[in-house]
Structure 1
């Protein structure tokens, strides 16, 4: 069984870009978490309404199923802001690792505000930081600076995947 990895962080941190780059480099399927939100959740977020834990529960279950359907490993992009969300995903995929794209509130706000073709409202950036429980110190987590160049981030993640033992499930 291969190892899967979650590229995580607040909106605007670069999950989709880094996830795609890592998936290409590691020759793994990419699971774009945003593609699996319900229409109701997308509508809420586009209206500036933060999702609740209940809104996220079915989404996380679906993402866990997607990981389980990739026995040779996959790259998942998912905010995974709270510890219990990460535990939900870990339960579905033993040995799951996380890359935390760390970004300041100001940089996240600037990035989200500049996006034109995304359903996530810039007014929700503060709620993302309010919900964020840093994964730093959890097993199988790499913290990276989200403002670093994409190529540098991808190399850092690929090197880490080769050298770090899988976390115990």
Structure 2
């Protein structure tokens, strides 16, 4: 696991976006973390307009124009939940993450990543999802991995799922707990 450049800095967070290409386990991990921390969960896939779903189901990648209204709805939905809010959303480009960060104060991105063959295998084994395996390459081609920073982390999905969940919980707790200053709890 990369700690996303955490060097003792604690950035307070209200929202956590579990991001990455389809098939990396964003929904599974984000839901498990929300359950463990008593937070809310938002599934961005459920918020796609029907036109986007039909486009993807037909094997056609979404354009930026298809994504902007959807990302706005994802943020609006997250803002209606009581923090901490775990959001499962691809957020593949830096411009998408910048947009999300402009609407969700205190957002942290957790990039789930792994070998393309493993992701492809996971996608192929899913039942009833509108995203076909054939779109993985288009997602990989536009993916802009986040730079390491106090507000972005990377999680390796090749580990057992419960280990990945535990690491994600640890990351979220780093941002939910107030930083300590000189051995004493920080109070704003």
**TM-score of the aligned structures, taking structure 1 as reference length:** 0.92
Pairwise CA RMSD: 1.7
Q: Does residue 47 of structure 1 match 2:58?
A: yes
Task: Could you list the structure 1 runs, at least 4 aligned residues long, displaced by more than 6 angstroms after superposition.
Answer: none
Q: Does residue 10 of structure 1 match 2:21?
A: yes
Name which of 40, 49, 55 aligns with 1:29.
40
Structure 2, gaps ≥5 residues long: 1-11, 178-188
Q: Which residue of 2 aligns with 1:113?
A: 124
**TM-score of the aligned structures, taking structure 2 as reference length:** 0.83
SS of residue matched to 2:153: strand
Q: Which residue of 2 aligns with 1:103?
A: 114
Greater shift, 107-116 or 25-34, is seen at: 107-116
CA distance in 2, matches of 1:105, 1:39: 28
Measure how far apart 1:70 and its partner are.
2.4
Q: Does residue 19 of structure 1 match 2:30?
A: yes
Q: Does residue 58 of structure 1 match 2:69?
A: yes
Larger Rg: 2
Aligned pairs, how many? 166
CA distance in 2, matches of 1:67, 1:2: 13
CA distance in 2, matches of 1:111, 1:155: 20
Structure 1, gaps ≥5 residues long: none
